[in-house]
Structure 1
Amino acid sequence: MSNVRTATPQTARAINDRIALELLTEHGPLTAARLRELTGLSRPSVAELLGRLGRGGLVDVVGETGAERRGPNARVYGLVAGRAHVAALDVRVEGVSLALADLAGSTVASRSVPLVAATGRREGQHPMVAAVLATLRAAGAEAGVAELHTVALGAPGLADPATGALRVSDALPAWHRELVTALRETVGAPVLLENEVNLAGIAEHRLGSVRDRDTFVLLWLGVGVGAAVVLDGALRRGASGGAGELGFLPVPGTGRLPSAVDCDGGLHSLVSGAAVRALAARHGLHGSGDEDAAGATAERLVAGAAARPDGSAGAFLDELAGRVALGAASATAVLDPGCVVLGGEVGRAGGRVLAARVGTRLRELSPLDTEVRATAVDGNPVLGGALVTALDAARAELFATDR
């Protein structure tokens, strides 16, 4: 007996509707004639699907083309962006950034919530949790967002793929876990939790320098060190959500080994923000003005060196590149991704200058052909990845709705 199943008319309609919605999302407003060209569907089929999508509140006429004669085919159809809204949050130790976007992916509000001192609790909540919830409500009210369809949140630490919770860590504030719980209890929408470096990797894949690749490793260089692993187009989290925790990677040059509770002695000791500042000081570099290396941020020091990569600045970049290449070589030896992206604040600051130096050093350490690229995501990559994640979830549900 054959296992081949013939698609029912209802299934075919659902598939065609989703294709049309994805085209409107990717290309923006389109005429019915252009939709026919892109989908290969007949004139009656396109007319029927536009009618279904219009009745479902997902598509509407947004104008007319000037090049064609007035009539049904001259109408321009667009996604109803206000049909749903999503929220993205980037949760850091020093505060929270958040953004709201419509179904078309346009940001309608963005806010920053600086760290609130942990003095007293309101209604049992940590003051920081209360501040974030209040800011999210206010931003939604000002943007005219009545309700959220999906929230995606990025935070440091391990996001357990089995439970959807942040694992307890002495290195991170307790209010991070409280915030996740409070959002799930009060926001009235699904809350998706992801490690912040993983979200940056998603942003790099969809919005940044590796849109042409489905396999790569994003090496995050900032205050801390981490990696996002994308293989065959899928983010790989590992069994416990710990894939990419390169800060704990044992490497030469640290004088000790990391432990289960302390990444000092691992790659973190060579390329964390504090390590980069110490390296810059050893090379006699300074920040802007009279600021010495110890008082400057790692990204400012790297950006300054990359702008004039000669003399002591060039030597500093060469040594930093050698350290970064140790982490890249380890990932390459295990995964053979073909491409490593340098992200995070330091990776962005070093840009192509640092990436080229890391690539040279990596070729000396590894026999595998691996390209090293600089990040190309505009703005906050964690927020960008969170918005992509939330929008994917919202569209998957709304675009699959039977009509």
Structure 2
Amino acid sequence: MAASPSTARAINDRHALRLLQDEGPLTAAQLKTLTGLSRPTVADLVERLRGSGLVHVVGEAGAERRGPNAKLYGIVADRAHLAALDVRTHSVSVTVADLLGATLAEASAPVGEDGGTGPAVEKAVTLLERTAKEAGADRLHTLTVGAPGLVDPAGGELRDSAKLPAWHRRLVAVLQERLPARVLVENETNLAAVAELRAGAARDREDFVLLWLGQGVGAAVVLGGRLRRGASGGAGEIGFLPVPGTSGLPSATGCDGGFHELACLAAVEALALDHGLDPASALASGHGPFLDALARRLALGAAAVASVLDPGCVVLAGDTGHRGGAALAARVEAELALLSPLRTEVRATALGDTAVLRGALLVSRDAAQDELFP
């Protein structure tokens, strides 16, 4: 069944907008070539998009004759302002950007519950509002919050957890009350995986697993180029994975005894001390015995992932993955080859500490464009 004229126009408009987003400003002639549409159809869609406030003239193509086809058209970047908030246990970081994802302002601040949940929430919200004002964003269109913990895939809410700071859960509700914006929330590990998929270490892969190695331990699963969250949003809760070498078994109420016990930041620091190293610099020291011992631990979790999912690639992220870099990734890959018959490449994060914010900003941009683009 042929598409209706209105449906066809919407498809053509969205195609043109995606080209302008990916390729930058284009002339009508270039849009005609890239879309395969007729000259009159391109002229109509350009005027339609200009009338909607999504596209404007940004200049002229120097090599072409002057005239309608010489004008360069681009997306109106300030048509919507976006924000990303990375919520950690003791801090928050925020980035405000335009519709094309260009950063306009960013800031970070320590946040704790010493003064109570209310003041902690207020400090985080104030930081966001101040940064948005600095960026010239009178009104945010979409904000994505990245936080540790499970996110309900049905309602998109941060699920209650005994080990999650109370201000984390309250923060999302306050943001939704105070901001005239769409507020989304996503697990920090999932956001890091989105960023690595589209702009980082896994941009040439459709299948991979990201291991988040920080104060907490988690994983994000990407198969067929899509993030997989699981039935309850818990796909990748690898900290609960039973592994050898721990004090016991994990339980429904705690991951002590699971892979978390071997791979969390506190465990890595303790391992460094066992090797006579300063925990703050051990990962960058190049100390072979320490890195080998850590790689053997990390390979246990990676082997479980490889055996079940066969992703072909594992990305080491979080503080340990970032600071360990290529040297640690190579050792984990070698250890993994001894534990699994499945060939699995191990890579270090390419985005480091910025991965969560980058992923959150990508999610905000996608959500805003889905709503604004016809």
TM-score scaled by length of structure 1:
0.90
Q: Which of residues 2, 17, 22 is equivalent to 1:6? A: 2
Q: Could you tell me which runs of 5 or more consecutive residues in structure 2 were left unpaired when the two chains were aligned.
A: none
Q: Residue by residue, what CA displacement relative to the aligned partner does 1:257-301 show, whole Å, maximum 9, x if unpaired?
A: 112222121111111111111111222223xxxxxx3xx2xxx32
Gaps of 5+ in 1: 287-292, 306-312
CA distance in 2, matches of 1:84, 1:259: 45
Q: CA deviation at 1:170?
A: 1.9
Q: Tell me what 2:283 maps to.
A: 302
**Correspondence for 2:36:** 40
Deviation at 1:191, TM superposition (A): 1.1
**Whole-angstrom CA distance in 1 between matches of 2:362 and 2:134:** 22
1: CA distance, partners of 2:335 / 2:38: 56
Q: What residue number does 1:365 align with?
A: 339
What's 2:184 paired with? 192
Give the distance between the partners of 1:157 and 1:379, measured in 2 at CA: 18
Provide the residue aligned with 1:17 in structure 2: 13
How far off its partner does 1:378 sit?
Answer: 5.9
Q: Residue 365 of structure 2: which of 391, 394, 400 is its match?
A: 391
In structure 1, the partner of 2:275 is: 283
Q: Within 1, Cα distance between the matches of 2:34 and 2:240?
A: 48
Q: Does residue 11 of structure 2 align to residue 30 of structure 1?
A: no
In the alignment, what sits opposite 1:290?
Answer: none
Aligned partner of residue 87 in structure 1, secondary structure: strand
Deviations 1:57-83 (A, max 9, x none): 000010112212222221111110000
Any conservation in 1 of the 2:20–2:75 contact (CA below 8 Å)? yes
Does 1:222 pair with 2:214?
yes
Maintained 8 Å contact 1:118/1:126: no
Corresponding residue number in structure 2 for 1:309? none
Instruction: Give the aligned partner of residue 326 of structure 2.
Output: 352
Displacement, 1:118?
3.8
- Among 139, 161, 175, the alignment partner of 2:153 is 161
Q: Distance in 1 between matches of 2:51 and 2:364?
A: 24
Assess if the C-alpha contact under 8 Å between 2:319 and 2:353 holds in 1: no
Distance in 2 (alpha carbons) for counterparts of 1:281 and 1:93: 24
Return the letter of the residue paired with 2:35: T
Query: Aligned letter for 1:82?
Result: D
Contact 2:220 2:236 in 1 (8 A): yes
Alignment correspondent of 1:58: 54
Q: Which consecutive segments of 4 or more residues in structure 1 shift more than 3 A?
A: none
Describe the SS at the equivalent of 1:30.
coil
Counterpart CA distance in 1 for 2:174 and 2:251 is 32
Q: What residue is the counterpart of 1:310 in the other structure?
A: none
Q: Check whether the contact 1:250–1:258 (CA below 8 A) recurs between aligned residues.
A: yes
In the alignment, which of 248, 253, 264 is matched to residue 272 of structure 1? Answer: 264
Instruction: Calculate percent identity across the aligned residue pairs.
Output: 61
1:164-185, CA deviations, whole angstroms, 9 ceiling, x for partnerless residues?
A: 2222222121111110111111
- Report the CA distance between 1:351 and its aligned residue: 1.4
- Which has the larger displacement, 109-118 or 41-50? 109-118
2:120 paired with 1:128: yes
What is the distance in 2 between the residues matched to 1:324 and 1:21? Answer: 43
Mapped to 2, the partners of 1:315 and 1:279 lie a distance apart of 11
1:315 pairs, out of 286, 289, 295, with 289
Aligned length: 374
Q: Secondary structure at the match of 1:247?
A: helix
> Residues 286-333 of structure 1: CA distance to partner in whole angstroms, max 9, x if unpaired?
3xxxxxx3xx2xxx321222xxxxxxx111111111111110110111
**SS in structure 2 of the partner of residue 218 of structure 1:** strand
Q: Find the aligned partners of 1:10 and 1:17 in 2 and give their Cα distance.
A: 10
**Which residue in the other structure is 2:196 paired with?**
204
For residue 116 of structure 1, report the CA deviation from its aligned partner. Answer: 4.5
Correspondence 1:82-97 to 2 at 5 A = 82-97=78-93
Does the Cα contact within 8 Å between 1:19 and 1:39 map onto a contact in 2? Answer: yes
Match of 2:354 among 380, 383, 392: 380
Instruction: Tell me by how many angstroms 1:201 deviates.
Output: 0.6
Distance in structure 2 (CA, Å) of the matches to 1:301 and 1:200: 24
Task: Tell me, yes or no, if structure 1 residue 259 matches structure 2 residue 251.
Answer: yes
Distance in 2, matches of 1:187 and 1:391, equals: 17
The SS at the match of 1:110 is strand
Partner of 1:67: 63
How far apart, in 2, do the equivalents of 1:379 and 1:207 lie?
Answer: 14
SS at match of 1:169: coil
Return the alpha-carbon distance in structure 1 between the equivalents of residues 318 and 63 of structure 2. Answer: 46
How far apart are 1:94 and its partner, in Å? 0.6
